A = this chain, B = another copy of it.
């Protein structure tokens, strides 16, 4: 067992603080990665503060991990020491269920193992995430990372990237589609970049007027301030697809009304309250209200390769490990354009 420096929460109310974890001994199929950068996802905060009521403490968050391979087990074939490597939201799954076989490990019927706050399949307990110096993961759940892109800005692709890429692909978004991205945060700004790169005409729906200036830079064709009724009315019935990244409670019906016939709204955020949708709001216009969760391992690799080819990374603010608690507070206020990434050299 390798003693490894990390940042952890010990309970729901105490800030993150330095801590030491024991990483498992390298298994024959394991890849050991020196973590260079780790993105900060809103899920990290939810879990740190036990907002989903399932946190096992101590907890080391972080599932947007990029780094360098420092060792490989004797049976590893896909990675070698010195390779760049990434780890996203999951580190294991049963591999034998229908979903796993189809590369949808995130929906593993026997329970996928989260990168943090997950239950190891071998029964050795709780998983610890990327707010640490090193991690060892079965090679099947390690991603290849291109050296063409700035590594720190690649980290958020492992969650924010795949979360938005997967639904765009599943619903075959491309040229000729009018796409709206609701909410311009860590997920939303990736959704805009990806949808634009696929050829869609993208509109940003945001309640933050000051983000309008970013719309053009991100490649969006239009910006609609959702607090301005007149602006919203103008785009009624106009979108083929809405990527809804909002995780605060909101009225889904308002946005279903912005879809044209056969339109689809996909939610990747999970507000606390259930959606309340009168059937008529989906019956008229044959509309779909759908969900999507990250993506499977094959699609995550496809997304990383796609981003390398199309020169797509996240807009990030690099922070030191010690500033993580302040970053959480700023994230809650939406004060980040658009993703915090921790420089693990600072740990």
Residues of A within 8 A of B (CB): 98-99, 102, 104, 107, 109, 166-167, 170, 237, 260-262, 264, 267-271, 274-293
* A284 and chain B: residue at smallest CB distance: B293
In the complex, which residues of chain B have a beta carbon less than 8 angstroms from the beta carbon of A104?
Answer: 261, 286
- Residues of chain B within 8 A of A283, CB atoms compared: 267-268, 270, 291-293
Contact (A276, B279) CB under 8 Å given A107-B285, A261-B104, A284-B293: no
Cβ 8 A contact of A286, one of B281, B287, B291: B291
15 other A-B residue contacts (CB within 8 Å) besides A270-B279, A274-B276, A286-B292: A98-B261, A104-B286, A107-B261, A167-B286, A170-B286, A264-B288, A267-B283, A270-B280, A277-B277, A277-B289, A279-B291, A280-B291, A281-B291, A287-B290, A290-B290
User: Could you say which residues of chain B place their CB within 8 Å of the CB of A166?
Assistant: 286
Neighbouring B residues of A268 by C-beta, 8 Å:
283
List, in ascending order, chain B residues with CB within 8 A of A276's CB: 274-276
Q: Which residue on chain B has the smallest CB distance to residue A287? A: B291
| Of the residues B98, B277, B279, B290, contact of A288 by C-beta under 8 Å | B290
- CB-CB under 8 A from A280, the residues of chain B are 270, 291
Judging by beta carbons under 8 Å apart, are A289 and B289 in contact? Answer: yes
Question: A107-B261, A291-B283, A292-B283 given as contacts; is B274 within 8 A of A278 (CB)?
Answer: yes
Chain A at the B interface: mostly helix, strand, loop or mixed? mixed
Query: Residue of B at shortest CB range from A292?
Result: B286
Q: Which of A267, A271, A290 has the most CB of B within 10 A?
A: A290
What residue in chain B is nearest A256 (Cβ atoms)?
Answer: B291
> Least Cβ distance of A196 to chain B in Å?
23
Chain B residues near A279 (CB-CB < 8 A): 267, 269-271, 274-275, 291
Residue of B nearest to A247 (CB): B279
A342 to chain B minimum Cβ distance, whole angstroms, is 26
Chain B nearest Cβ from A142, distance in angstroms? 23
9 cross-chain pairs, A with B, having the tightest CB-CB distances, nearest first: A282-B291, A283-B291, A270-B279, A288-B290, A274-B278, A274-B276, A288-B288, A107-B261, A289-B289
Query: CA–CA, A269 to B286, complex, Å?
Result: 12
Assess the A107–B286 pair: CB atoms within 8 A.
Answer: yes
Chain B residues with CB below 8 A from A262, complex form: 170
A325 to chain B, nearest CB (A): 28
Q: Could you list 26 examples of A-B contacts with CB < 8 Å?
A: A98-B261, A104-B261, A107-B261, A107-B285, A109-B237, A170-B286, A264-B288, A268-B283, A270-B279, A271-B279, A274-B276, A274-B279, A275-B276, A275-B279, A277-B277, A280-B291, A281-B291, A282-B289, A282-B290, A283-B291, A285-B291, A286-B290, A286-B291, A288-B289, A289-B289, A289-B290
Q: How far is the CA of A166 from the CA of B291 in the complex (A)?
A: 23
